[in-house]
Amino acid sequence: MRIVSLSSDRAQRVTLSDGIAELVRDGHSVALEGFTHLIPFAAGHEVVRQGRRELELIRMTPDLLYDQLIGMGCARRLVFSYGGNPGVGSLHRFRDAVENGWPHPLELEEHSHAGMANRYAAGASDLPFAVIRGYRGNDLVGRTRVATVTCPFTGEELAAVPALRPDVAIVHAQEADRRGNVQLWGIPGVQKEAVLAARRSLVTVERIVDELELRPGGVVIPGWVIDAVAEAPGGSQPSYSHGLTERDNEFYRRWDEISRDRGGFLAWMEEHVFGRVAPK
Amino acid sequence: MNAADAGEVMTIVAARHLRRAKVCFIGVGRPSTAAILAREVHNPELVLVYESGTIGAKPRRIPLSIGDGELAQTADAVVSVPEMFNYWVQPGRLDVAFLGAAQIDRFGNLNSTVIGDYAHPKVRLPGGGGAPEIAAACGEVVVIAPHSPRTFVERLDFVTSVGYGDGPGARERLGFRGGGPTTTITDLGVLQPDPETKELTLTQLHDGVDADRVREATGWPLAAAAEPRRTEPPTDEELGALRELTSR
């Protein structure tokens, strides 16, 4: 395998497998972000194929991708705010890990969306914590990392949530140019915050272009804050890349059945992730 | 037209609640259907805000997820998640928010986290997502839930989102700016907080339902208004529009 050096002042163009091999190590805290859109499935599948273990997986909405990583035994710990299959129901592999410890127990650190989003923003800002008006009166307070701070100006009591600083952030975008500048558009989620909060980052893209054509509302992440860029066409399916691919809602519904029992799940992963047969 | 089923009645009652609303915050499922129906039948100017960051979305079809492409395509503005919660939810810019839950108690507190013990749950639910801060900050909260003693419980296994806390004054003590769960719509009727006790009280019954049936489906001794109102039957316009919408 080619060893890539990622110490350059601009993003290195890598193959997906080299990028994952270089950046994601056993025991790392890894954030694969994308809020219902641009979810980096191809990158997550590569993590599964490379057999990474003991990961601290960070993601606001674990979604099908983390259901798959958890079910394959890649995760020791999950930091999250909403663990459901949106509009469909449960994430069965996540539930099996929490309820029955299969394939092994999963430690949880649970937040609200407001808490998680602000934790990324604090990480991106290199602040130790973020301040929000939140978490008051509910049972999350006793179960997670949140503290109370007093506003020095008004005396109001507010919630403090610790900054997120993942070892690695992985996000998917529509395109990158040859210098590794990345542009994404549509629902922007927390991808920019995740990349800036993380120590190292990998961006997978639908396509590499000669020059980015800036789009109204587009989010550009300059290549010099990204470690590696890998081309992965269709890499957000069954999620989607706005304007280029469509969300496969039917697959999100079917996942409920596929993932319901351990054997069916493992067989599906064997065929479609290890065997790389595109799901129909 | 066939008579409305219980699910359709819930959706139609929820849509009517949005007649005079300006800005409505929605998650997936029935609330999304109700809000789109409200825009089509009662309130074309209603601004739909989805948690994914789409403000002023105008979907023609019911989205499966809050992040479906049509929402971003039709929105007035598309913002990041930190912006959604910091600039839009937290300051209370949203009038009405819909929330669901696996459990609700007599003060409209909600559980969407676990059934059983947190560390060793019987059922691990998805968790709070945006709900805790939405429940605190939005102008009012409308809860939509099927009516059963498993859902309407004496005591929550976990408090994910605070309604009226432990009763009168609780929201003020917690510094919440929003008005709390003013309306709970079920397949049997509508519950609203008593102005004094803040306890959810039966104020409206759907067609063919009596108060005893609602009490049986509630896990605490349910208070009822002296004369609960009757839900106006769905009109042909409402039902036709709803069925047309769900068939798209």
Q: Active-site residue numbers of B?
A: 51
Q: Which amino acid is at A65?
A: L
Q: With 90 as the cut, is the pLDDT of residue A45 above it?
A: yes
- C-alpha to C-alpha distance for B167 and B107, rounded to whole angstroms: 7
Contact assignment for B52 to A134 by CB distance below 8 Å: no
Q: Which residues in chain A have their CB less than 8 angstroms from residue B131's CB? A: 112
- Determine the pLDDT at residue A3: 44
Average per-residue pLDDT in chain A?
95
Nearest to A111 by CA among A130, A127, A86: A130
Going by pLDDT thresholds of 50, 70 and 90, the confidence category of residue A212 is very high
The Cα of A61 is separated from the nearest Cα of chain B by a number of Å equal to 8
Residue B26's alpha-carbon distances to A43, A270, B34, B55, B193, in angstroms, are 31, 37, 10, 11, 22
Separation between Cα atoms, residue A191 and residue A131, nearest integer Å: 20
Q: Are strands B140-144 and B96-99 parallel, antiparallel or unpaired?
A: parallel
Terminus-to-terminus CA distance in chain A, angstroms? 31
Residue B44 burial (C-beta neighbours within 10 Å; 0-12, 13-18, 19+): exposed
Q: What is the pLDDT of residues A149-164, one digit of tens each?
A: 999 999 999 999 999 9
Query: Length of chain B in residues, anyone?
Result: 248
pLDDT class of A2 with cuts at 50, 70, 90:
very low
Q: A279 or B108: whose pLDDT is higher?
A: B108
Among candidate residues B215, B217, B173, the one with its CA nearest the CA of residue B198: B173
ipTM field: 0.96
Rg over alpha carbons for chain A, rounded to the nearest Å, is: 19
Beta-sheet pairing, A129-132 with A147-150: unpaired
Helix (H, G, I), strand (E, B) or coil at A215: coil
Dihedral-angle region of residue B139 (phi above 0 means left; psi in -120 to 50 means alpha; beta otherwise): alpha
Structure tokens at B164: 């009226």
CA distance between the termini of chain B: 18
What is the C-alpha separation between B220 and B105, in angstroms, rounded?
Answer: 8
Task: Tell me which chain A residues have a C-beta less than 8 angstroms from the C-beta of B66.
Answer: 36, 86-87
Residue A280: pLDDT over 60: no
Residues of A in contact with B61 (CB under 8 A): none
| Neighbouring-strand partners of residue A58 | A31, A79
Measure in Å the smallest separation between the Cα of A18 and chain B Cα atoms: 30
Of residues A187, A237, A232, the one with CA closest to residue A60: A187
Beta strand ranges found along chain A (DSSP E): 12-14, 29-32, 55-58, 75-80, 84-85, 89-90, 107-110, 129-132, 147-150, 157-162, 168-177, 182-184, 200-209, 219-221, 228-231
Of the partner residues A95, A113, A217, the one whose CB lies closest to the CB of residue B81 = A113
Are the beta carbons of A133 and B136 separated by less than 8 Å? yes
Distance from CA of A115 to the nearest CA of B (A): 9
Q: Is the pLDDT of residue A7 over 70?
A: no
Residue type (1 letter), B27 = G
* Residue type at position B177: R
| pLDDT recorded at residue A10 | 80
Which of A189, A202, A84, A78 is closest to A144 using CA atoms?
A78
What is the C-alpha separation between A122 and A119, in angstroms, rounded? 5
CA A253/CA A261 separation, integer angstroms: 15
| pTM given for the model | 0.96
DSSP for A41-61, please give it: HHHHHHHHHTT--SEEEE-SS
pLDDT at residue A6 in the model: 53
Say what the pLDDT of residue A1 is.
39
A279 pLDDT band, cuts 50/70/90, is low
3-state secondary structure of A104: coil
Q: What is the DSSP string of B133-182?
A: HHHHHSSEEEEE----TTTB-SS-SS--B-SSTTSTTHHHHHT--S--EE
Indicate the range of A46-55, A169-178, B19-28, B104-113 predicted with least confidence: B19-28
Query: For residue A216, is pLDDT > 90?
Result: no
What pLDDT, on a 0 to 100 scale, did the predictor assign at position A167?
Answer: 98
Query: Is B48:B34 a contact under the CB 8 Å cutoff?
Result: no
Q: Per residue in A62-76, pLDDT tens? A: 999 999 999 999 999
Where does the pLDDT of residue A187 fall: very low under 50, low under 70, confident under 90, or very high at 90 and above?
very high
| pLDDT tens-digit series, residues A97-129 | 999 999 999 999 999 999 999 999 999 999 999
Instruction: Report how far residue B18's alpha carbon sits from residue A67's, in angstroms, rounded to the nearest whole number.
Output: 36
Using a CB-CB cut-off of 8 Å, the residues of chain A touching B100 are none
Cα separation, A11 vs A5, whole angstroms? 10
Question: Which residue in B has a C-alpha nearest to residue A246's C-alpha?
Answer: B69
Q: Mind listing the pLDDT tens digit of every residue in chain B (248 residues)? A: 789 999 999 999 999 999 999 999 987 678 899 999 999 999 999 999 999 999 999 999 998 888 888 999 999 999 999 999 999 999 999 999 999 999 999 999 999 999 999 999 999 999 999 999 999 999 999 999 999 999 999 999 999 999 999 999 999 999 999 999 999 999 999 999 999 999 999 999 999 999 999 999 999 999 999 999 999 999 999 999 999 999 98
Angle between helices A63-71 and A41-49 (to 10 degrees): 0
Task: Name the minimum distance, in Å, from the CA of B226 to any CA of chain A.
Answer: 32
- CB neighbour class for A220 (10 Å; exposed up to 12, middle 13-18, buried from 19): middle
Q: What percent of chain A has pLDDT over 90?
A: 93
Amino acid symbol at A191: Q
| Interface residue B162 vs chain A (CB under 8 A) | yes
Query: Is B124 an 8 Å CB contact of chain A?
Result: yes
